Amino acid sequence: MTEFVSLSVDAGVGTIRIDRPPMNALNRQIQGELLEAAREASARADVRAVVVYGGEKNFAAGADVKEMASMSYSDMAPVSRDLSAGLGAISTILKPTVAAVTGYALGGGLEVALGADRRIAGDNAKLGFPEILLGIFPGGGGTQRAARLIGPSRTKDLVYTGRMVDAQEALAIGLVDEVVPADEVYDRAVAYASRFTSGPALAYAAAKKAIDGGLDTDLRTGLDIESDLFAGVFASDDAKAGMASFVENGPGKATFTGR
């Protein structure tokens, strides 16, 4: 059993819930529990899409500074990659993922959200990388995922200044994808994730690998990755069923099994 992170499943949507009140500070224990939850969500056939959620008040207000304050270089060096893996755990789930962001998503909290495929924010959300104000910088994937998402210039502005952006600015710069009233965030995220619960799971996984893998390399290599993964989905039952249904009945009427 995990103490602060849980996985619940309803109608194909798995919810990874971070619950360490009042601010969901992401200590090393939570980082490990996020990895466990991500592995479980990846392995379970009844989980077809995932929402990561910190509750009605806050998503997560960063790593646990009290835990890190006494750490030296020799303390951090052996565990820095573990921190990155834990805060980036959501990105390893080869299923559609959505971050439901309310209140603060700062530092490590924003890094967790950046690991999702889509971010739906409440109108009360505050996002940012305040680490520079502590004399450090984002070390859980933030400098890499944010730069790929919103570009290096905007990322440097957030990292260098340590400022918070509200939901509307986050939407304008592409840090989040949608803004809704705060009390509707979780339901909206579940509704979006539910669109994929009866879809072709192997095709989703392959598409995610192609997109994310291509971002990490040059165009020619990315095209090769895409081609190999594209050929691979033709071995799936869903590809056969989907194309047969299209030929016989037109688009959007196939029944997929996830195999």
Task: Specify the amino acid at residue 81.
Answer: R
Helix boundaries (H) for the chain: 28-43, 65-68, 73-76, 80-87, 108-114, 142-150, 152-161, 167-173, 185-194, 201-215, 219-233, 237-249
Beta-carbon contacts of residue 133 (< 8 Å; ≥ 6 apart): 162
For the question of residue 125 being annotated catalytic, the response is no
Strand, helix or coil at 45? Answer: coil
- CA dist 4 and 31 (Å) reads 10
Answer yes or no: are the C-beta atoms of 62 and 26 closer than 8 Å: yes
For the question of residue 36 being annotated catalytic, the response is no
Q: Which of 111, 139, 142, 182 is catalytic?
A: 111
| Integer angstrom CA distances of residue 252 from 201, 206, 239 | 15, 20, 13
For the question of residue 108 being annotated catalytic, the response is yes
Q: Which of 12, 86, 108, 128 is catalytic?
A: 108
Q: Which of 99, 113, 131, 258 is catalytic?
A: 131
Pairing relation of β-strands 104-106 and 49-53?
unpaired
For the question of residue 111 being annotated catalytic, the response is yes
Name 128's bridge partners. 106, 164
For 204, other C-beta atoms within 10 Å of its C-beta total 20
* Residues tagged active-site: 63, 108, 111, 131
